[in-house]
Amino acid sequence: MRESGIPLSVCEVERVRRIEAMDEFKRAIDVAEELPFPRMVLHMGGSRETADPRKRDAAFSTLEHLVLHAKHIGVTLCVENTLNEMGQPAYLRSFVDETRLTGLRFNFDIGHAHLGDEAAADRIAKAFDPMRELVAGVHLHDNHGEKDEHLPPFEGSIEWETAIPVLKSANDKNLPIVLELKEKTGVDAPDMTEQLAAARTAMDRFEKAWN
């Protein structure tokens, strides 16, 4: 975000604003020189981004620079599957293939993949298939298939007994998995200690299912 609250986007069509966004992303990547991190995850545009050819060209221009900048610092740039048109797995894969941005990788968000119009049992496998060869990380959370709830695994409707083999089919056999939860708030919400304990229990169950 800028100070104004306007999101920074790799798909910014206006050149001046695109360069401004690119510079901000570079500053974020440069943090790795002091606080090392292996991957930086970006979205391809905002929540309602349409697959506009001008935005695609803008994304290529931005990401071409950022991938090279990140590589020099030892950071892998990953774009994540989201619900907008430019964030669809098939679109992301065609983007990488057509632009030949060989250093760009994917972050697979399993919660996002579970949302959509496909039959629930097919959503995750269908979303993962185009991304499989280039997946460099996973965001792990659950939902009930209707909104992005960011629940611990097994608290939503993802069928983990079928989802885990999909994840294990990735080319990277040491796939980093990050638990990405949303804090529960409200009068009846459990306190943070209880939420963290529930997350730990969910991850223990996930690890057991994985193994």
Give all strands (DSSP E) within 88-180, no chain letters: 105-109, 135-140, 177-179
147: containing domain: 15-210
The predicted structure's pLDDT at residue 174: 92
The verdict on residue 46 lying in a domain is: yes
Q: Is 135 helix (H, G, I), strand (E, B) or coil?
A: strand
Tens digits of pLDDT across the chain (211 residues): 556 677 889 999 999 999 999 999 999 999 999 999 999 999 998 878 888 999 999 999 999 999 999 999 999 999 999 999 999 999 999 999 999 999 999 999 999 999 977 666 689 999 999 999 999 999 999 999 999 999 999 999 999 999 999 999 999 989 999 999 999 999 899 999 999 999 999 999 999 999 9
The predicted structure's pLDDT at residue 166: 96
Closest to 141 measured CA to CA, from 108, 189, 96, 101: 108
Q: In DSSP terms, which residues pair with 78 in a beta bridge?
A: 41, 105
Give me the number of domains the chain comprises: 1
The verdict on residue 104 lying in a domain is: yes
Q: Residue 154 carries which side chain, given as an amino acid letter?
A: F
Handedness of CA 141, 144, 149, 152 (dihedral sign): negative
Instruction: Give me the CATH number covering residue 108.
Output: 3.20.20.150
The predicted structure's pLDDT at residue 176: 96
The predicted structure's pLDDT at residue 181: 95
CB atoms within 10 A of CB 72: 9
The verdict on residue 139 lying in a domain is: yes
**HSE toward the beta carbon, residue 182, CA cutoff 13 A:** 13
The verdict on residue 10 lying in a domain is: no
The verdict on residue 194 lying in a domain is: yes
pTM: 0.94
The verdict on residue 6 lying in a domain is: no
The verdict on residue 175 lying in a domain is: yes
The predicted structure's pLDDT at residue 131: 97
The predicted structure's pLDDT at residue 164: 97
The predicted structure's pLDDT at residue 1: 54
